[in-house]
A = this chain, B = another copy of it.
C-alpha cells in the first residue's frame, strides 16, 4: 500500500475476526517498530508478542479498556526499559507498527493505562520497565472495515510562522484529502 493511503486510511479497530495472524505478518510489524527512530538511537523498547488466551485475558483485566484485548487473536506489548523519553519514543515505534499492521490488512487500537506492577509480573518484565500499551492486533470484522474518522479542520490545528496566523497565500490549498 502507498504510504499516504496507509496514513490517511488507517482507523482504530476494536473488533477482530477469529483468524490467526500469520507469523510473518507479526514479524513485519515488529521490524517496523525496530526501525523506528528514538532519542539518541537508544532503542529503549521491548516488544512482547502475546497469543496465549489466558495471558490476553489476564492483561485485559489490568486496564479499563482491556475488553478489546480479551477477544483479540493476539496483542503486542510495548514496554520501555531505561528510556529517557519513554512516551515519545514509544509513540514513534508504535505508530510505525500500527501503519505496518494496516499495510498488511490488520487492525489495531491503543490500549493503555495498565496497572504497572501486576503487568510486569505477568510478563516477567524487569522492575524498571514501563508498560506503554498492549495493542490488540487482528483482521478487522466487516463492520469496522469501511468506517471513517473525524478530525479537526487543518486551519484549527496549524499556523504559519506564529500561533494563530493563517497561511500567507490567498488561493485555497490543494486538497490532500483524497486517497
Name A's B-contacting residues (CB within 8 A). Answer: 1-4, 6-8, 10, 12, 23-24, 27-28, 30-37, 39, 41, 43, 45-52, 55, 79, 85-92, 94-96, 98-100, 103, 110, 112, 123-126, 129, 132, 149-152, 154, 157-165, 169, 173-174, 176-177
Contacts and interface: CB of A to CB of B under 8 A. Distances in A.
A91 B150 CA distance: 20
B91 A43 contact: no
A161 B4 contact: no
Nearest to A52: B161
A169 B99 CA distance: 26
Contact of A91 (B3, B89, B159): B89
A163 B45 CA distance: 12
Nearest to A110: B37
Most chain B beta-carbon neighbours within 10 Å: one of A31, A33, A123, A124: A31
A67 to B, nearest CB: 16
Contact of A99 (B7, B161, B162): B7
Contacts of A37: 10, 12, 95, 98, 110
A100 B3 contact: yes
B95 A49 contact: no
B24 A176 contact: yes
A34 B152 contact: yes
Given A2-B1, A154-B30, A163 B124 contact: yes
